[in-house]
Structure 1
């Protein structure tokens, strides 16, 4: 990856297109699970989304293997895809921008309330 690719994000676009091409080869139920996984994992993204690429690659690989083995999505992921994504992202490491903004807002409000109270 060169400097220009890093700045423009063209490497991410190329990688995302490769993910989508792989996902199109999945059966319909696995493809639907992929869509849900990408939606839930986006909450754990950093500003660029680079931190999610290895996680997404692993999740898609899991879906590809289970589809090849003839396993259903429910057997592999269960009912809680959101929990599966949280486990993949790693609870503490995978905190997203929303969590950081929420903590910052809470700190600022607490500081202002302390100033008003005395």
Structure 2
């Protein structure tokens, strides 16, 4: 991996996390738990996990914009929500 690629990936990750931090607090809390779960039980390739997390953030943004609670977006069983996304 080249230094330039590493720097670009770090920039992308920081931008991703800035989007997470701009979400409502309840969405941030659930995102952090999902992130832990995905990194432990998710796709083997790191880029696949990051892509999945980016999709979740987009889904959360849409839910927050629509005035829905985070559990209305994920359902009451957040682990089942994650498993469905991984499959």
Q: Tell me if both proteins adopt one fold, taking TM over 0.5 as the criterion.
A: yes
Give 1:23's match in structure 2, choosing from 20, 30, 34: 20
CA distance in 1, matches of 2:26, 2:50: 22
Tell me the C-alpha RMSD between the 2 structures: 1.9
- Structure 2, unpaired ranges of 5+: none
Q: CA deviation at 1:80?
A: 1.2
Question: Aligned pair count?
Answer: 86
Matched, 1:55 2:49: no
SS of residue paired to 2:2: helix
What's the counterpart of residue 46 of structure 1?
44
**Counterparts of 2:73 and 2:67, CA distance in 1:** 11
Show structure 1 runs of 4+ deviating over 6 A.
none
Contact 1:37/1:81, CA 8 A, preserved across alignment = yes
Question: Cα distance 1:88–1:11, how it changes in 2: closer, same or farther (>3 A)?
Answer: farther
In 2, the alpha carbon distance for the partners of 1:11 and 1:86 equals 29
